[in-house]
Amino acid sequence: MLDSIQHSTTYIKSRIGDFEPEVGIILGTGLGGLVKEIEVEKQLMYSNIPDFPISTLEFHSGKLIFGTLAGVKVVAMQGRLHYYEGYSMQQITLPVRVMKMLGIKTLFVSNASGSLNPAFKKGDLMVIEDHINLQPNNPLIGRNELELGPRFPDMSQAYNRALIDKALDIASANNIICHKGVYVAVTGPNLETKAEYRYLRIIGGDAVGMSTVPEVIVASHMGLPVFAISVLTDEGFTEILQPVSVEEILEVAYEAEPKMTLVLKELIAGF
């Protein structure tokens, strides 16, 4: 793993020169539009970076974007990796480790997820304050490299509380509906059954998705503060559950994206 991190990092540094990002951003499904707000200095395709996994989803472009957002130097992943694509957890989270090696001090993560809480409606935003990990593997399984982090990292404050409060203030000031809740990570790629939605709500989930948690675990392992936000694209309310398609999910994500972009941009501007 250390060799792969080094190979990727060395290649990227050879292409971006003395550019050192302060903030890393992972853009989720249907949420790549934040890139339009970045003054781009360099773009690298995942496929050209040694040991870097390639996104297999047609709606994930698979680029690392380097530039300035709200006066802050950033590196943004336009297209993330998922466990259901067949990658190992170590491969999925390699980009987070590489971004840390490139110099980022904070990680911002976005995703599209399904609401479990009847008070949280489709099209709303939800800041993640905690998570429940139901994925069957963990990126920290295996030999621990002390250069990267401790064997048993604490996860009691995986999501930065100060950034959560600031994000909620930004949303409120801009009349954006933004909740605070618990995100449940599952494997996918299928959506949940009615019984599964009921179970996920009973155990304390406010939203469910197929990403984010592996990256957050690795960020915590490396001592990176994390802010994560979900666009709620569908509703897993068992009493009125209706079939939903990926096309519908993407449509809601695209419509809600400007709200998420505003919150992230103003939050990053505060650095």
Calculate helix-pair angle for 213-221, 89-102, nearest 10 degrees. 50
Domains of the chain by start residue, with CATH:
2-269 (3.40.50.1580)
Host H or E run for residue 10: helix 2-16
Tokens of 197: 């939605």
Q: What is the pLDDT of residue 60?
A: 53
Whether this model's pTM surpasses 0.85? yes
Residue-level pLDDT at 58: 60
Q: Which two tokens stand for residue 224?
A: 């990176």
Residue stretches of the chain with pLDDT short of 50: none
Q: What is the separation, in whole angstroms, between the first and last Cα of the chain?
A: 31
Mean pLDDT of the chain: 95
**Tens-digit pLDDT profile for residues 65-114:** 999 999 999 999 998 899 999 999 999 999 999 999 999 999 999 999 99
Query: Hey, what are 150's tokens?
Result: 């401790």
- Rounded Cα distance between 180 and 192, Å, is 22
36 three-state secondary structure: helix
Share of the chain above pLDDT 90, in %: 88
Q: What is the per-residue pLDDT for 59?
A: 53
pLDDT at 97: 98
> Could you tell me which residues come within 8 angstroms of residue 20 by beta carbon, excluding any fewer than 6 positions away?
73, 102, 103
pLDDT in tens, 40-62: 999 999 999 999 998 777 655 68
Q: In whole angstroms, what is the distance from residue 77 CA to residue 262 CA? A: 18
Q: What is the pLDDT of residue 31?
A: 78
